[in-house]
Amino acid sequence: MALLFGAIIGLALGLTGGGGSIFAVPLLVYGLGLAPREAISVSLAAVGLAAAFGAAGAVRARLVEYRAAIIFALAGMVGAPLGVKAAHWFSETTLLTAFAILMLVVAIGMWRAAMRSPAAAGVVRADYVPAVASETGPMCRVDSDRQLRLTGPCSAVLALTGIGTGLLAGAFGVGGGFVIVPALTLIARIDIHRAVATSLLIISFVGLAGVATVLAEGRQLPWLLTALFVGGALAGMLLGRLLARRTAGPRLQKLFAAAIIVVAVFVLASRPY
């Protein structure tokens, strides 16, 4: 079951532009019987390593925007430990309730994005296609060679958004792609292909920073279950690579959004803690 659920997460992570990893904690809590905080830790490990695996392909395809990724990832690595520690302030019932609300927000965002930008909904993390030309934005500048030129306001907003993403990742065990991708496209004005690819590299650093915080606190992960879950997630990313070009699109994004809503309602109705 850990392999199967991990594969579902890897597939969801790979076949969405952002938000696929949000299924991880519910599967770990309700499918494998982990306590919410333990599930968050395992989710961080699985999502971080699966994202690193996907990021390797994005790097080979030369789709990663390193300047934005470095700022975002460093800020996220500051926010993730804070999120892990903040999760201790709340009961597990409160964490699950807040997580379900987050799921609903992500689902609505995915559905609206699929409606407004059908072409962008076909850009997924499991498929590394050539990037298109970028536009010049008000905060960041992108030259004719698609090289990002950072300005002070651009760097500051990316850093603040990165901290916020890290807080969400550490507190809820999510990758944060639903925040990262819009931030890169709207703030840095990076085209959607590069934003989705760059998000994988950012998620890998943020997720692993959260895991490092958990271990530094002296908490132990269920190592066998974690290894199986991670292995399944990597297999799911590979499967996503095979399916991406035939299945990606607004219908798939809407399907994921609908599934997230169903799971969120289930979490709200069936909190065991």
How many Cα atoms occupy the beta-carbon half-sphere of 12 within 13 Å? Answer: 27
* Residue 31 CA, distance from chain mean position: 21
CA atoms 122, 126, 177, 225: torsion sign:
positive
Neighbours of 33 (CB within 10 A): 11
Q: What is the pLDDT along the chain (273 residues), one digit of tens a residue?
A: 999 999 999 998 888 877 778 889 999 999 998 998 899 999 999 999 999 998 998 898 888 888 889 999 999 999 999 999 988 888 888 888 999 999 999 889 888 888 887 877 677 777 776 555 444 444 566 555 556 666 677 788 889 999 999 999 988 888 888 888 888 887 777 788 888 889 999 999 999 899 999 899 888 889 999 999 999 999 998 898 888 777 777 888 888 889 999 999 998 888 555
